[in-house]
Amino acid sequence: MNAIIVISRLLIGALFIFSGFVKAIDPVGSQIKFEDYFEAMGLTALSPYALTLALLMTAAEVLLGFMLFLNAFPKLAMYGSIALMVVFTPLTLWLAVSNAVADCGCFGDAVKMTNWQTFWKNIVIDGFLLVLFASRKQIRSRITPLKQVGITAFIAFIAFGFQYYNLQNLPIIDFRPYKDGNNIADLMKTPEGAPKDVYKTSLFYKNIKTGESKEFTLENAPYTDSLAWAYDTTINVLISKGYKPPIHDFKITMIDGTDITEQVLSDPTPVLVVVSYDLLSANLKNTADLFRLQQYATSKKIGFVCFTASGEADINSVKAQYPEGMPFFNADRKVLRTIMRSNPGVMLLKKGTVVKKWHHKNIPDTDELDDLLK
């Protein structure tokens, strides 16, 4: 029995540590996921608190995971884990049934799971937690109380400090399809022979004499029997999901709506892109660096543009704060937040390939840009 208790404790601890770590790498990603939840639940008033809640939840996962794994305050860690799963399990069941949010974000962008997979994963965790709860009288730690306090405090400090670092810089590991070195155009393609979505199509016709509605398939529908049947409606049900390219919603347009995506991705001339999903909320403390980048781009005869989700009125209201003559192009807000976890940030793009990305606090110097352009 002791072996089962130890295995349960270590497995739950390891899973919580991994789940918390991949989210701590990308706190803004967790913030976006919280915002998705609030929108799906009609609780958008809570969106301003999304980042704070994301930081707290991630820190709690990391802390509880290490407490379980290292056997520091094991009973407290067990009860804390149960409290988390009391929230997560019904939440993921709701997601699985409603599919209100496509991806729960349980493992950030590192591991993608369907909502049903996530729910059953949580059921397994609940099973291990039940083992710990049933054996709670046997759970003890050999670590002295003072050392347990020290371990817990140190882990909490690291959990929050690590998230803070990744907020002040771009994530140290990028699990997104727009990471350095990836070619956007390639990741938008669907391989030949890739599986497609499969739907079951049901056609409903009404009997003209009785008014009864009856279901037919595409093969046996009474298309020609217009004297007996009248078409009512069609219902398509997804049976199996086909291949979906890692990047499927990247689109760049001019302010007037002209699509220039292909031009952007095929242009052999390198281009420095200022990425700002919202110009009005962008941090402009480092605009001097943007002016410096424009001068560099001009001297090297490379492009210097801005991708934003802001409309023409907002662009015009802040244009004077940005380098003169910098073209502004539009893209989807969520896509831009996926590309860049900083507002604004800078990306070096060459023929559709993301060469390098920078947080607005870490704008590169000319030597670094020269090396990259070589």
CATH code, domain carrying 348: 3.40.30.10
Q: Beta strands 271-276 and 303-308: pairing type?
A: parallel
Cα within 13 Å of Cα(97), Cβ side:
6
Q: Do the domain assignments include residue 333? A: yes
Q: For residue 102, what pLDDT is reported?
A: 79
Q: Do the domain assignments include residue 91? A: yes
Domain boundary among 210, 240, 270: 240
In a shared domain, residues 59 and 90:
yes
Checking if the pLDDT of 62 tops 60, the result is: yes
Checking if the pLDDT of 115 tops 80, the result is: yes
Cβ-proximal residues to 349 (8 Å cutoff; 6+ apart), any chain: 264, 270, 271, 272, 273, 355
In a shared domain, residues 220 and 275:
no
| Amino acid, single-letter form, for residue 37 | Y
pLDDT bracket for residue 313 (50, 70, 90): very high
Checking if the pLDDT of 133 tops 60, the result is: yes
Q: For residue 345, what pLDDT is reported?
A: 95
Q: For residue 356, what pLDDT is reported?
A: 95
Mean pLDDT of the residues in the chain = 92
Cα dihedral 151, 157, 160, 166 sign? negative
Cα–Cα dist 236/214, whole Å:
15
Average pLDDT over residues 355-371: 92
In a shared domain, residues 209 and 302:
no
Domain ranges, residue 234: 198-240
In a shared domain, residues 309 and 366:
yes
Q: Do the domain assignments include residue 299? A: yes
Q: Beta strands 303-308 and 328-330: pairing type?
A: parallel
Q: For residue 197, what pLDDT is reported?
A: 87
The residue written with tokens 């001068």 in the block is 295
pLDDT bracket for residue 73 (50, 70, 90): very high
Cα dihedral 182, 186, 187, 192 sign? negative
Domain boundary among 150, 168, 186: 168
Q: Do the domain assignments include residue 175? A: no
**Comparing C-alpha atoms, which of 79, 81, 87, 82 is closest to residue 53?**
87
Rounded to 5 degrees, φ, ψ at 307 are -105, 125
pLDDT tens string 206-228:
998 888 999 998 888 998 888 88
Cα–Cα dist 99/97, whole Å:
6
**Comparing C-alpha atoms, which of 92, 91, 78 is closest to residue 8?**
78
In a shared domain, residues 28 and 131:
yes
Rounded to 5 degrees, φ, ψ at 324 are -65, 135
Q: Which residue has the higher pLDDT, 241 or 162?
A: 162
- What percentage of the chain has pLDDT greater than the value 90? 70
Could you give the angle at which helices 2-24 and 27-41 cross, rounded to 10 degrees?
A: 90
Strand partners, 293: none
In a shared domain, residues 118 and 18:
yes
Q: Do the domain assignments include residue 359? A: yes
Checking if the pLDDT of 1 tops 70, the result is: no
Q: Do the domain assignments include residue 193? A: no
Number of structural domains (the chain) is: 3
